[in-house]
Structure 1
Amino acid sequence: MSARGPGQGAARRAQHSTGLRALARGGYVASGVLHLLIGWLAVRLALGSSSGSADESGAFRQLASAPGGPLALWAVTVGFAALALWQLAEAVVGVPGVADAKEVGTRVKSAGKGVLYGVLAFSAARYATGDGGGGGQQESLTAMLLQAPAGRWLVVAVGLTVVGVGVFHVVKGWRKKFLEDLRGTGGGAVGTAVVRLGQVGYVAKGVALAVLGGLFVTAGVTHDADKAGGLDDALQTIRDQPFGTALLVVTGAGIAAYGVYSFARARYARL
């Protein structure tokens, strides 16, 4: 108990920090910028452009090349880092108002989000310093996993987990469950727009994640790391389907809608 005390105390202080709360809201703004850029790159991919990968790395590269790009990337880094700390604090001390039956699941989800935002903060910082990572990272990681004992089934499990997250996003958007994350929507026309953007955005993001998870499942089943990939590969898979160009344009627009929704979430999120 004594070992956990200091950590819990720090987490509680973080939860009551007005400054950290404001910076964490900035993390949702950073998420909005990232998704807008990914959506734009996805639409360009659908229309035949190969100027950049339609994923987080491509978005960071676009931001880095823009006027004032390094400064914007540092702002994104701070926002994601603050949001990561906020989520990890919730993982340690819990989310106020959550029923006991849901507490464990809520803490696990907060921990996962904290890790995700932490990775995004680290990636943004690397691009801000001109040290952006190269491509093929997903394939390399998958190849390493495939060499481990029962590695192919581990890759399949990872893929199925990502598929599950994608389905969760689709259901969350379709059933408007994301409204539980907000303390309001602005009311009137603004509120209606926020709800519609959230619905479209969550469904589109969920579809992309489900396809991404499917690539990992395929890599595991075939024992071929080249079958795996990142978000860009998933979007290319959508493009290669019948009516793929139209599907990818719709998906890209949906991801961009999620970006705009994230701006509203920065204002109305329960923090």
Structure 2
Amino acid sequence: MTGIRRAAVEAEQSDVVDHAVRVGLVAYGVVHLLIAWLGLQIAFGETGKTASASGAMHTLVQQPLGEVLVWAVGIGFVILALWRVLEAWQAIRLEDGKEQVLDPAGKLIAAVVYSALAITAFQVAVGSSGGKGGGGGSTDSMTAQLMSVTAGQLLVGAVGLGILGYAGYLVHRGWTEKFLEELDGRHGRKAGKAYRWIGKIGHIGKGVAIALVGGLFVWAAVTHDPKKSGGLDQALQQLRDQPFGQVVLVAISVGLACYGLFAFVWARHLSR
């Protein structure tokens, strides 16, 4: 076990992993900027736009060398997922008290998010290669499958509550500026107002967007209707049709854009 821990520490601290993680964070920022752009287009009445990770990947794949870029983004997300798993392993060994549970749990959730984004990127890349635009099953069909199993309604509700919990975690990190811990010591302690506001608005905006998705899952569980569930795109589409929905949608899109910009700052000043 000691040998495994030593290998994990060496891998997490290696220069190769450091550079790879920075590239992955840049890819993460690009995807958030694309989703923000798609969200703004939806806010102003554009049809046929999908403000989601899948929509961002499809937008990217249509650019010059787009297929290569999407493959690179997918690989970047795989690297980020492995990095967070290594960090979780380290946190279990180094943290004490409740942080020994909360910190690794947060990093493992991030690893799951990065893994899902990697799968989405690879699906789009493979679909582009095969000329089919692969994208997998819709959220409501997957929710329907989940509801069909024993206690499925409770499982869908639990998924929704888990998503809401992650959204609250992001809002908390934004409001308390704990995201500055992700930057290196000098920039974390002495981050300028621009970094602080970009990070704060970005985390809170992303948290609100994810909370909308969690709310749809909980509503689907309460009403026992899989079609009530949905991803980020469905949440934003429904938000646009509400009173003041366009204004809120623009604000959320700006928040997602700020999160994308923070990812660039994070890549530049990564705490190692």
Give the TM-score normalised by structure 2. Answer: 0.90
Identity rate, percent: 42
Separation (CA, whole Å) in 2 of partners of 1:95 and 1:266? 24
- Could you tell me which residue of structure 2 aligns to residue 126 of structure 1? 123
Worse-matched range after superposition: 201-210 or 87-96:
87-96
Is contact 1:136–1:229 with CA below 8 Å preserved after alignment? no
Task: Name the CA shift for 1:186/1:93 in 2 (closer, same or farther; >3 Å).
Answer: closer
| Cα shift at 1:211 | 1.0
Name the amino acid aligned to 1:14: A
CA RMSD of aligned residues (A): 2.2
Separation (CA, whole Å) in 2 of partners of 1:89 and 1:95? 10
Worse-matched range after superposition: 123-132 or 67-76:
123-132
Counterpart of 1:26 (choices 23, 26, 45) is 23
Task: Name the CA shift for 1:26/1:217 in 2 (closer, same or farther; >3 Å).
Answer: same
| Cα shift at 1:194 | 1.1
| Cα shift at 1:25 | 1.4
* Mapping of residues 178-217 of structure 1, within 5 Å: 178-183=179-184, 184-185=186-187, 191-217=192-218
Three-state SS of the structure 2 residue aligned to 1:168 is helix
Moved beyond 6 Å, runs of 4+? none
* Mapping of residues 211-230 of structure 1, within 5 Å: 211-230=212-231
Describe the superposition over 1:104-129 as per-residue Cα deviations: whole angstroms up to 9, x where unpaired.
22222222222221221222123223
Is contact 1:172–1:178 with CA below 8 Å preserved after alignment? yes
Describe the superposition over 1:140-163 as per-residue Cα deviations: whole angstroms up to 9, x where unpaired.
221111111111111111111111
| Cα shift at 1:98 | 3.8
| Cα shift at 1:77 | 1.9
- Could you tell me which residue of structure 2 aligns to residue 94 of structure 1? 91
Separation (CA, whole Å) in 2 of partners of 1:5 and 1:187? 33
- Could you tell me which residue of structure 2 aligns to residue 263 of structure 1? 264
Separation (CA, whole Å) in 1 of partners of 2:251 and 2:160? 24
Task: Name the CA shift for 1:21/1:162 in 2 (closer, same or farther; >3 Å).
Answer: same
Task: Name the CA shift for 1:197/1:96 in 2 (closer, same or farther; >3 Å).
Answer: farther
Name the amino acid aligned to 1:182: L
Query: How many residues are treated as equivalent by the alignment?
Result: 267
Is contact 1:23–1:78 with CA below 8 Å preserved after alignment? no
Worse-matched range after superposition: 194-203 or 117-126:
117-126
Long gaps (5+) in structure 2: none
Counterpart of 2:39 (choices 15, 39, 42) is 42
